[in-house]
Amino acid sequence: MVSKVRKELGRWRAKLRSTPYLFLGAVRRREYDASRHERVRVTQGRQPIADEVAILVIFPRDGIPASTLATLAHFARNGLACVVVSNAPLRDEDRARLALDTHLVIERPNIGYDFGGFREGILTLFERGVRPRLLVVMNDSLWFPLRTDCDALARCRQAPEDVFGFLLNGVPRFGVSRDYVQSYFLRFSPRLLASAEFLAFWRDMPLIDNKHLVVRRLERGLSRHFARRGYTLGALVHWRTVIDRLMALDDPDKLARIFAYQCQLNPKDAAQLKPLIAKGWSPLRIRDALARSIRRKRLFASFPMMHPEFVLELGFPVLKRKLTMQYREIVRLGLDKDFDPAVRAEMRR
């Protein structure tokens, strides 16, 4: 009971801290738009426009990694014209290199994080009269594709839902669905792109510089905004599938690896797992004893960060770049043997 109260108080503290950013977001958007064309640099690339477009938002710190170029090449092989939006100024050589593999290279101030970059790419396309039949937006926090023969884009194309991604997350509260598509990769359908509601969302979107509020109001808010208007959500992996697969896992050695990894990854999960491990309980017994917490996502709340063996076996087509612990485990277990050479080299640095 005490932990629930603390959690709720923490949630309200976060809401109160982020409230000023919510009001300032609309003001910042108006200020940004008033000087947008002076502050944004657009470079025409060599790639022709296509009916299907991918917008990749990057924040280059030390140049453009080879894996980013591999991502652009993968989009091009799959017939998507690429627009790169950089939330930081580019070096001349990086701008020139990106222009070889893209339709447009856009540089802008880092206002509004990734969603600000998505917005800039979408508005620029629409202002130029480009109305894609299918649109993908993605940020550079991911290694994608992991393998050169990845079919994730083909599966995203074929999916009937209007907002589609790699992971559908969320937990129902009081019987109400709270699902949302995680925003590091989103695919928008022809039906949604043809609607006035799509452009209106991005045109009127507040530019928020608070990460907590970006997740709550924009990542989750985007899915729920369009779902309320009758558009459908979907993803390659659903959070219920993750839980069902974990609860059905009957390999004690694999479960033991998952638990040991999670204890290192997440102190809150470790607080529930370690006492049972210390008692000498079997992995299967531990899993079953914690079934209620798992099903309510009080354990293993973030699937993409879980043990990579489990993540990859569920067919998840990306990994987070910054999660050093995860890709060190991948290398240790030799799970990267068929990865794209650029991704494999960056993991092994």
Q: What is the pTM of this model?
A: 0.91
Query: Which pLDDT tens digit goes with each residue over 84-138?
Result: 999 999 999 999 999 999 999 999 999 999 999 999 999 999 999 999 999 999 9
Residues 86 and 214 both lie in one domain: yes
Q: How many domains does the chain have?
A: 2
Cis peptide before 145 (omega within 30 of 0): yes
Residue 9 included in any domain: no
Residue 179 included in any domain: yes
Q: What is the pLDDT of residue 5?
A: 43
Q: What is the pLDDT of residue 212?
A: 79
Residues 214 and 248 both lie in one domain: no
Residues 208 and 282 both lie in one domain: no
Residues 173 and 290 both lie in one domain: no
Residue 58: beta bridge partners?
86
Q: How far apart are CA 162 and CA 3, in angstroms?
A: 38
Domain boundary among 235, 260, 279: 235
Residue 32 included in any domain: no
Token digits for 67? 């894996």
Domain boundary among 188, 213, 235: 235
Q: Regarding beta strands 142-143 and 185-188, do their DSSP bridges make them parallel or antiparallel, or are they unpaired?
A: unpaired
Q: What is the pLDDT of residue 264?
A: 96
Residue 19 included in any domain: no
Token digits for 33? 């738009």
Residues 224 and 180 both lie in one domain: yes
In this model, does residue 1 exceed pLDDT 50? no
Q: What is the pLDDT of residue 273?
A: 97
Residues 277 and 163 both lie in one domain: no
Residues 193 and 98 both lie in one domain: yes
Residue 202 included in any domain: yes
Mean pLDDT of the chain: 92
Whole-number percent of the chain with pLDDT over 90: 84
Rounded average pLDDT over 208-213: 83
Residues 85 and 119 both lie in one domain: yes
Nearest to 208 by CA among 20, 3, 4: 20
Residues 212 and 248 both lie in one domain: no
Residue 26 included in any domain: no
In this model, does residue 4 exceed pLDDT 50? no
Query: Which pLDDT tens digit goes with each residue over 155-185?
Result: 999 999 999 999 999 876 666 668 999 999 9
Q: What is the pLDDT of residue 9?
A: 47
Residue 24 included in any domain: no
Q: How far apart are CA 274 and CA 279, in angstroms?
A: 9
Residues 226 and 269 both lie in one domain: no
Write out the residue range of the structural domain in which residue 95 sits.
37-145+154-235
Q: What is the pLDDT of residue 210?
A: 83
Q: What is the pLDDT of residue 133?
A: 97
Residues 230 and 279 both lie in one domain: no
Residue 211 in contact with residue 25, Cβ under 8 Å?
no
Domain boundary among 217, 235, 253: 235
Residue 266 included in any domain: yes
Q: Regarding beta strands 104-107 and 81-86, do their DSSP bridges make them parallel or antiparallel, or are they unpaired?
A: parallel
